[in-house]
Amino acid sequence: MIITRETDYATRILRSLTDMQLKNIREISDDQLIPRQFAYKISKKMEKAGYIEIVRGAQGGCRLIRDLHDITLMDLITVMDRENMVSSCLESGYFCPYRKRQYDGCSVHNSLCQIQHKLTEYFSTFTLYDMMFNHADSFEMK
């Protein structure tokens, strides 16, 4: 599982909104160094997830409506990427001719499943609040 550029941009958008003020996409994009076309698309996904509110109109913008203590990194990854797996062989609907031929399974696939599970568990321990306001050295890999 790799944190995609989209998830990175989503984190930056949320970081820009931590003051709970209404900000337009131009402000957010300029402040967080995000291309505007991505900021619009990502903002819509976060609105649909209930993380932000988008106010339309001349005086509109975006506002954080969810407590960052309640959103984990894994939550955000899921909202942004839906099926962001460590390998394409773990994605639903992926056909692997090697696995089909091996009746006893594929040890690489099984290992990747374990890695995916551990990463999902680990990323679920980080709240966005902790990521944004605590030092990185407080997060130890277990």
Residue scoring higher pLDDT (115 or 52): 52
Overall pTM > 0.85: no
Torsion of CA 45, 38, 5, 60, to 10 degrees: -60
Amino acid at 117: H
Residue scoring higher pLDDT (88 or 138): 88
Mean pLDDT across the chain: 85
Pick the CATH number of 5-64 from 3.90.1150.10, 3.30.70.120, 3.10.450.50, 1.10.10.10: 1.10.10.10
Residue scoring higher pLDDT (69 or 91): 69
How far is 135 from 95, CA to CA, in rounded Å? 42
pLDDT at 99: 62
Torsion of CA 70, 72, 49, 14, to 10 degrees: 90
pLDDT at 88: 65
* Residue ranges covered by each domain of the chain: 5-64, 68-138
Torsion of CA 65, 74, 37, 56, to 10 degrees: -20
pLDDT, tens digit (0-9, with 9 covering 90-100), for 88-113? 666 667 677 666 666 667 777 778 88
Percent of the chain with pLDDT over 90: 56
Provide mean pLDDT across the span 70-74. Answer: 94
Long-range (24+ apart) CB contacts under 8 A made by 4-8 are: 4/77, 4/80, 4/81, 4/84, 5/38, 6/38, 6/42, 6/80, 6/81, 7/76, 7/77, 7/80, 7/81, 7/84
